[in-house]
Amino acid sequence: MTPETALEELEAQANPARAEEMRAYHKADRRYLGLTNPQIATLAQSWRAALDVEGRVALAGGLWQSDIFEARVAAAKLLTQARLRPDDQTAWALIASWTADFDSWAIADHASMAAQKRLVADPTRLDEVEDWVASDHLWTRRAALVSTLPWTKQNNPKPEELAARDRILGWAATMVPDHRWFIQKSIGWWLRDLSKHDADRTRAFIAAHGEAMKPFAVKEALRLLKKAEGAG
Q: What is the pLDDT of residues 118-176, one digit of tens each?
A: 999 999 999 999 999 999 999 999 999 999 999 999 999 999 999 999 999 999 999 99
C-alpha torsion sign, points 129, 135, 140, 141: positive
Average pLDDT of the chain, as a whole number = 94
pLDDT at 86: 82
Say what the pLDDT of residue 53 is: 93
The string of pLDDT tens digits covering residues 80-96 is: 988 888 888 899 999 99
Does position 232 have pLDDT exceeding 60, yes or no?
A: no
% of the chain residues with pLDDT over 90 = 89
122, 90 in Cβ contact below 8 A? no
For position 190, what pLDDT does the model report?
A: 98
Where does residue 86 rank: exposed (0-12), middle (13-18), buried (19+ CB within 10 A)? exposed
The pLDDT confidence band at residue 231, using thresholds 50, 70 and 90, is low
- The set of residues, in sequence order, having a beta carbon less than 8 Å from that of 143 and lying 6+ positions away, is 99, 102, 108, 111, 112, 115, 129, 132
Strand partners, 31: 68
